[in-house]
Structure 1
C-alpha cells in the first residue's frame, strides 16, 4: 500500500511540484459520462452502511511478503532500488518484511478473527514471471493459489491487484514504463495469472496508483526505479493507460464474467490563493492527479487543459488508434484517500502546461497531523468521493485504501493503544457514510493496512497497520486497539 498514494511525504511534495495529485474541491461536474448519474442509497443515518457493504483491509506483496529470493522469484525494480545507498530510511530492505510469504495463513486467520469480508492483496509479477516475459514460475502461482484458497475457506473475498509497483528488473533494463512494449508485457502476465486463478477470483484490480509509480519513479526519482526524467514520466503515464486497456481485455478474454477495476490515489486540492493563476494550477493538478488514468479508460481521451493541446501527442508518444487501446469500461473504481494537497502556480515548470508546485500554507485545512506529517482532513474524503462519483457515474466504487501512520508501540501492559488511529478512521468513516447517503455508489472499504509493513522509501519508520509487527523479534503479530475497534465496526456495519 496502495499506494504510497498520498501515503508518503515524498509523494505529497513532488506530486504537487510536477503537476498534481488532487481533485480541486468543488470542481464542476460538467464532464460526467453522457446520460449517467450518481447512484447510491440515501437511506440510513450518518455512520450506518448499506446492507451487504464489504469491510476489509489492504496489503501489497512487496511490502509484506519478504522471501525476495525464494522459490524462483525474480528481481524487481524495488529489489534493485533498495540496494542503492541513501534511498531508503535506515538502509532498510524488504527481504523479510512481514514474512507473509511463509506466514500468510496466520495473516488470513487474523483477518477472519476481525470479521473481514474482503482482503486486498497484490500479486508480485517477478514471483510469477521472473523475467517479465517468457517462462512462468509455477511455484509463484502456487503460492497465490494457497493464499486465495485460504481466504475463500474463511469466507473472505479475495481482491488481488495485478500490479503494485514491482516491475521485473529485466523490463526496466529494456526501458521500463516509458517503453510501449511494457504495456503488452503486463497484459501477457495478467492473462497468465487470470488463466491460473480466475476460477477462484471474481474481481480484479489492474493497477495500484499508476500516478505514483510513473511520476515518482520516472520524474523525481524518489521511488523505484529512481529516474529523474520528466518527459519519460509523461510517456510512462501513457504506456500505463495503454496497459490498462490491454489488461482489461486480457482478463475479459479469459474470464468474461469477471469484474475489472483499477485503484487510483485521489485527494482534494487547496490553491495557495484565490488568484486566477493559482486556481488554474489547482485545476490542472486535479485533472493530472485524479483523472489522468480514469478518463482514458472510460472515455478514450485525456482530460483537456493539462498539457498544451498542440504538443500533447508528442509529449505522450500518442499514436493513431491509442484512444481505442486505452478504452476500458471498468466494472468498478478503486479510490485511495489519505489527505489533501496544497498547490500554487509555478512559472518555471519543467514541463509546459504543468505549472504547479507545492507550498506550505499559513492557514491549513487542519492543524492536526498524522505521525507522517499529513493533514488530517476527513471532510476531504466526502468531497473527493462525491466528486469522483460525479465523473464515473453509476460505476460502483470501492475504497481500496484509507488509513494513517501512527508509530506508537506496545505499552508496559503489552497492548498497543493507538487511540489516534481510531479517531482518524472513525472521522473518515463518518464522512464516507455521508457520501454514500448522498448518493455515492460505494460498496466496500479497505483499511490501509492490515499489518505494519515496509513503507517504501520510508523503510520501517511509518506504521499504518491494525496489527503491530515486531520487526526486531521474528515478525511477531500483535493486534492494536484499532483492530478490536474495527472488528466492532464490521460486526455492526456502522461506526461505533
Structure 2
C-alpha cells in the first residue's frame, strides 16, 4: 500500500503562458505550426493563451482556494534559453523562480515537467529530435533548470507524452512540428528523445540540491477486460503492451527502454527494417533509476475473449458516454492501467493527467456548471482508489487541467479546466467541478 497520496492538477507552458512577443521567450515549433493555415482550428495560436505570465499570482491563489496539494507545470525551454542553446533569458528563468516560491508560499508542492512539446524553433532548424546532439541539448537545458530550482523542487518529470510529439509531430503531421517522416526517421527521433530522457535523469540525479523524485509522463494507451476472468484480464494486459503496427502510438516502445533497459521484442521484430543504429551504451543511458511511472490516461478500449481464447473488441453501447474530444468514458481505465503498469515496471504509479474536455460557459449567475466533469472525475478517481485499496502503490492523481487553455490543434475550442478562462477578459471562474475537487481532496481516502 502506498504510504501517501498527492492530489494535484496540471498545465503546460505553451498552453497557458502566452507572452511570445516580449520577455525574451524564443519561438518554438508550436508558434511555427500555428502560423501555417489550416493546422490549428480557427487559426488560433498561443501568443496570449491564458496570459499566465501576468496572472501567475492570481492563478496560484486559485489553486490554493481549490486546495491543491501539488501543481504539475512544465518549463518552456525557449523561454529560458531562447535559441535552445547558449544565452539564458534571465526574465524567463526568474518567472519560474517566482512561480516555485509562490506555490510554496501557498503550501502547494511544485512538480516540474521539463518538456511538454514547445521545442525551440532554432533547434528545430538544426534538425530537432533528428539531430544526434539533441539529447545533449536537452541535458544542458535540464542542468540550468536544476541548478536554479532544485533547492526548492524535488519532483521532476522529463518528457510529457513522447508518443504524441513523436507520432503526431513527426509521423502524421497532426501536431507540431508537422512532419510526415519516413518510419526510420520517426524511430530515430524517438530514440534521440529517449536518450534525452536518460541524460536528463542523470543530470537531475547529479546536480539536484535536494533528494530528487524522478519519473516521466507517457500517455497510457490502455485495454480493459470486459470480464474479470484470468483469460480476459491477461489478454487486456498483453494488448496494453503489444506492438502490432509500425507507429509510435503504444506504451512499451518508450516505457520498456526507460524502465527495463531494452526495446520490446515484438517491436524490434516489426520495426527491424527501420531501426536506427544503437548499442547497449545507449540503452544504459536511457534506463536510469526512476521513482514512479507517470501515466496520462483519459480513455481505454474494452476487449473480450471467447471460450477458444480469441480476443475481440467490445464496441461502445449505443448512446454511450463520450467527451467533447470524442473519447469514450471508461472509468475502469485507471483501475486496470495502474495494475498493468505496476506489474510490468514495478514502481509506484501516479496518474499525471486525467480529465474531461467539454464546452463550458458562464451562466447568468456567474457560475460554470459542469456536472458531467464531476461525474467523470468521481468515477475515475473511485476506480483508481479501488486499485490502491487492493495494494497497487498509487502515489497521486493530477487532474487535467487546472484551467481552460490552448488545446493544441483544436485551438481554444475545447475546455478541460477546473477553472474557466474568458480569453477576451482573462477572467477566471472556478467551475463547479473545481469546488467538487476541493471536497474530494479534503475527504479521507
- Please, what TM-score do these two structures have when normalized by structure 1? 0.81
Distance (Å, rounded) in 2 between the aligned partners of 1:142 and 1:448: 25
Q: Alignment partner for residue 149 of structure 1, among 96, 101, 112?
A: 101
Q: 2:250 aligns with which of 277, 280, 289?
A: 289
* Structure 1 counterpart of 2:264: 303
Q: How far apart are the structure 2 equivalents of 1:240 and 1:435?
A: 31
d(CA) in 1 for partners of 2:317, 2:300: 10
Of the three residues 420, 423, 439, the one matched with 1:468 is 420
- Residue correspondence of structure 1 range 406-421 to structure 2 within 5 A: 406-421=358-373
How many angstroms apart in 1 are the aligned matches of 2:241 and 2:319?
19
Q: Any idea what the Cα deviations from partners look like across 1:152-179, whole Å, max 9, x if unmatched?
A: 1111100010000011011111111122
Corresponding residue for residue 206 of structure 2: 253
State the secondary structure of the residue aligned to 2:357: coil
Q: How far 1:310 moved relative to its partner?
A: 8.4
The structural deviation recorded for 1:298 is 1.9
What do residues 436-462 of structure 1 show as CA deviations (whole Å, max 9, x unaligned)?
011221111110001000000000000
Distance 1:147 1:365 in 2: 46
Matched residues in 1 for 2:63 and 2:240: separation?
A: 42
Contact 2:257 2:283 (8 Å CA) reproduced: yes
Inter-CA distance 285–458: structure 2 relative to 1 (3 Å threshold): farther
Task: Tell me the distance in 2 between the aligned counterparts of 1:366 and 1:108.
Answer: 39
Q: Is the 8 A contact 1:62 1:166 kept in 2?
A: yes
Q: Specify the alignment match of 2:131 in structure 1.
A: 179
- The correspondence for 2:113, drawn from 141, 156, 161, is 161
8 A contact 2:9–2:402 mirrored in 1: yes
Per-residue CA deviations over 1:180-232 (Å, capped at 9, x if unaligned) read: 21111000000011011111101111111111111110000000000001422
The corresponding residue for 1:326 is 286
**1:242 to partner: Cα distance:** 0.8
Deviation at 1:408, TM superposition (A): 2.2
Deviation at 1:147, TM superposition (A): 0.4
Kept in 2: contact 1:269–1:282 (CA 8 A): no
Q: Tell me how far 1:251 sits from its aligned partner.
A: 0.9
Are the aligned partners of 1:365 and 1:375 in contact in 2 as well (CA < 8 Å)?
Answer: no
- Supply the distance in 2 between the matched residues of 1:283 and 1:306 (Cα, whole angstroms): 8
Is 2:151 aligned against 1:199? Answer: yes
TM-superposed CA distance for 1:269, in Å, is 3.2
Assess if the C-alpha contact under 8 Å between 1:125 and 1:189 holds in 2: yes
Partner of 2:170: 218
Q: Which has the higher contact order (CA 8 A, sep 6+)?
A: 1
Contact 2:6 2:70 survives alignment (8 Å): yes
RMSD: 2.4
CA gap 1:362/1:122 in 2 versus in 1, 3 angstroms: closer
Match of residue 396 from structure 2: 444
1:208 pairs with one of 138, 143, 160: 160
1:264-413 alignment, distance < 5 Å: 264-269=218-223, 283-284=242-243, 289-308=250-269, 311=272, 315-319=275-279, 321-341=281-301, 362-363=315-316, 367-393=320-346, 395-413=347-365
Q: Which of 206, 223, 228 is the aligned partner of 2:180?
A: 228
Which structure 2 segments of 5+ residues have no match? 226-231, 304-311
Structure-to-structure mapping, 1:449-460, within 5 angstroms: 449-460=401-412
Distance 1:144 1:316, change over 3 A: same
> Are the aligned partners of 2:81 and 2:141 in contact in 1 as well (CA < 8 Å)?
yes
Return closer, same or farther for 1:363/1:484 CA change in 2, 3 Å cut-off.
Answer: closer
From 393, 407, 424, the equivalent of 2:376 is: 424
Q: Whole-Å Cα distance in 2 between the matches of residues 115 and 412 of structure 1?
A: 26
Contact 1:455 1:461 in 2 (8 A): yes
Residue number among 480, 490, 493 corresponding to 2:431 in the alignment? 480
Does the CA contact (< 8 Å) of 1:160 and 1:205 recur in 2? Answer: yes
User: Match for residue 111 of structure 1?
Assistant: 63
Mark the CA change 1:248 to 1:364 in structure 2 (over 3 Å): closer, same or farther. Answer: farther
| Aligned residues of 1:267 and 1:381 also touching (Cα < 8 A) | no
Aligned length: 423
